[in-house]
Amino acid sequence: MLPFEDAIEKINEMLKQDPENADMWCSLGVALIELKKYDEAAEKFEKAAELRPQHPSAWYGWGIALKALGQEKAAAEKIKTAMEMDQDSDKDPSEPEK
């Protein structure tokens, strides 16, 4: 068994215990991208984004999977969303907007 196939098996076991774990859905998406299973990867990242909408990695991974599928416009939108979230995470919430 290839390392990413093994990882997918283990992640799926973990998701049976905790199906609401957005990080595990992202990890599953990454492993599927490594295996060039972009359709499946996009679905897993979408699930992660649904579970935790403010999770930049979910949006970024979703964008990467869509780009690999040739869906350039949708991919750019997802990656832009991830970048905006990531940028926002650097801000101190106690500071006023400039």
Whether residue 56 contacts residue 86, with contact meaning beta carbons closer than 8 Å, is answered with yes
CA distance 45 to 64: 10
Domains belonging to the chain, first-starting first, are: 3-87 (1.25.40.10)
What angle separates helix 22-34 from helix 56-68, to the nearest 10 degrees? Answer: 30
Q: What's the whole-model pTM score?
A: 0.85
CA distances from 16 to 11, 73, 90 (A): 9, 33, 33
Cβ atoms 42, 62 nearer than 8 A: yes
Q: How many CB atoms lie within 10 A of CB 55?
A: 20
First to last CA, the chain: 53
pLDDT reported for residue 87: 77
Q: What is the pLDDT of residue 89?
A: 59
Mean pLDDT by 10 residues, the chain (98 residues): 87 97 97 97 98 96 98 97 80 46
